[in-house]
Amino acid sequence: MTDTDPLVRFSGVRKTYGTFEAVKHLDLDIGRGEFVAIMGPSGCGKTTTLRMLAGLEEPTAGEITIDGKRMNEVSAHDRDTPLVWQSLALFPFLNVKENVEFGLKMRGVPKPDRHGRAMLWLERLGLKGFETRRIDQLSGGQRQRVALARSLVTEPRMLLLDEPLSALDAHLVIRMQGVLTRLQKELGITFVYVTHSQSEAFAMADRVVIMGHGEIAQIGKPQEIFRAPKNRFVAEFVGRNNILPGKTPGQEIVVAADRMQVSASDPGEGALPAEFLSEEFAGTGIICYFEGPEGVELKAQVTEDQLENLAPEPGQRFWLTWAPGAAHVMAGT
């Protein structure tokens, strides 16, 4: 074992429920200290994947190793892979500190040591002063931080998180994203973070694994996936992309909406004629929707000033162009 060997390896992992294939074939390495997000639409097999890593489901085929050791038959309890999820049940009959100490108590850690470690984690998670609070006296964000402290107090090699922020308000989500990324970098432990939310995955992870229908559709750094989606599934799932026919038969190209230019007059060769349909205010600009050749939907992101100048009316004809460097050729399905 060297430091460059992966911490986790899924090799040909498959999981079926009866005749249904929840995970079809998974090959995935996760490095030490990496923050990996597994992102995909609901039902694509994310939770199943995480639960297999946690030891809560057994793979139907294939192998999962941690530190080079086969884990398939190892119980969740013996894996050191705590799992935090959205509605992680804290014990209502224990106070904050007792909840955090629980895992240490189960491991027979003596009381003074338990106390010190629990207090350290409560402080790290900004929960100092809340030790004796009851769980029902905490906000959603505070509960989630207690849940994190409870999972981290045993200092596991990795933490598994399944949509941990999905029950929180938008402003809390942003704050907790910051808490989680800082914590992960400070501790240097591996995070495997499952989410259906693009913004969460792209904001936090070193590497993103896009899953669709029980398979990996693409793995890469957030920027790579965003700018160079490998196939139609990824292009449609992430970002606001235009998918257009390429130069050779069967080839498809992707042009991001924010790299599409809109002209009110025909600029000549290569411009796509398109009828304006509607506009939508997005945080970073305005997305204009068009109907292009053969009924294909096209999108362009414009600024408020550009929108004012264009003053588009539904049904009005425009021309869409993009710089050669803005088109990314997809490798194929």
Instruction: Point out which residues bind ligand ADP (CB under 6 A).
Output: 17, 20, 22, 40, 42-48
- Please check whether residue 102 is in contact with residue 95, taking contact to mean a CB–CB distance below 8 angstroms: no
301 binds Mg ion (CB under 5 A): no
48 binds, among ligand ADP, Mg ion, none (CB under 5 to 8 A by kind): ligand ADP
Identify which of residues 47 and 231 has a Cβ nearer to ligand ADP in the complex: 47
Give the nearest distance from C-beta 38 to ligand ADP in angstroms: 8
265 binds, among Mg ion, ligand ADP, none (CB under 5 to 8 A by kind): none
Q: Which of these ranges, 44-52, 57-65, 117-125, 143-151, lies near Mg ion under the rule CB under 5 A?
A: 44-52
Identify which of residues 46 and 230 has a Cβ nearer to ligand ADP in the complex: 46
Identify which of residues 22 and 256 has a Cβ nearer to Mg ion in the complex: 22
Give the nearest distance from C-beta 42 to ligand ADP in angstroms: 4
Give the nearest distance from C-beta 47 to Mg ion in angstroms: 3
Q: Which of these ranges, 43-51, 111-119, 254-262, 291-299, lies near Mg ion under the rule CB under 5 A?
A: 43-51
91 binds, among Mg ion, ligand ADP, none (CB under 5 to 8 A by kind): none
39 binds, among Mg ion, ligand ADP, none (CB under 5 to 8 A by kind): none
Residue (of 77, 94, 38, 47) closest to 216 by Cα position: 38
Residue (of 235, 232, 208) closest to 219 by Cα position: 208
238 binds, among Mg ion, ligand ADP, none (CB under 5 to 8 A by kind): none
H runs (alpha helix) in the chain: 46-54, 96-106, 111-124, 140-152, 170-187, 198-204, 222-227, 232-237, 304-310
**3-class state of residue 181 by DSSP:** helix
Cα-Cα-Cα-Cα torsion 204, 281, 297, 201, nearest 10 degrees, comes to 10
C-alpha 31/C-alpha 188 separation (Å) is 11
Question: Would strands 241-245 and 215-220 be described as parallel, antiparallel, or unpaired?
Answer: unpaired
22 binds, among Mg ion, ligand ADP, none (CB under 5 to 8 A by kind): ligand ADP
Identify which of residues 58 and 78 has a Cβ nearer to ligand ADP in the complex: 58
- Please check whether residue 165 is in contact with residue 133, taking contact to mean a CB–CB distance below 8 angstroms: no
93 binds, among Mg ion, ligand ADP, none (CB under 5 to 8 A by kind): none
Identify which of residues 238 and 256 has a Cβ nearer to ligand ADP in the complex: 238
DSSP-assigned letter for residue 93: T
Token reading at 315: 């049904």
Give the nearest distance from C-beta 187 to ligand ADP in angstroms: 25
C-alpha 218/C-alpha 127 separation (Å) is 38
DSSP assignment string, 263-332: ESS---TTPEEEEEEEEEEETTEEEEEEE-GGG-EEEEEE-HHHHHHH---TT-EEEEE--GGGEEE---
Token reading at 16: 């079926």
Binding-site residue total for Mg ion (CB under 5 A)?
1
Identify which of residues 47 and 81 has a Cβ nearer to Mg ion in the complex: 47
301 binds, among Mg ion, ligand ADP, none (CB under 5 to 8 A by kind): none
Q: Which of 7, 13, 26, 47 binds Mg ion (CB under 5 A)?
A: 47
Identify which of residues 4 and 42 has a Cβ nearer to Mg ion in the complex: 42
Amino acid at the residue 60: T
Contacts of 14 (CB under 8 A, 6+ apart): 21, 23, 24, 25, 26, 59, 60, 61, 62
Positions touching Mg ion (CB under 5 A) are 47
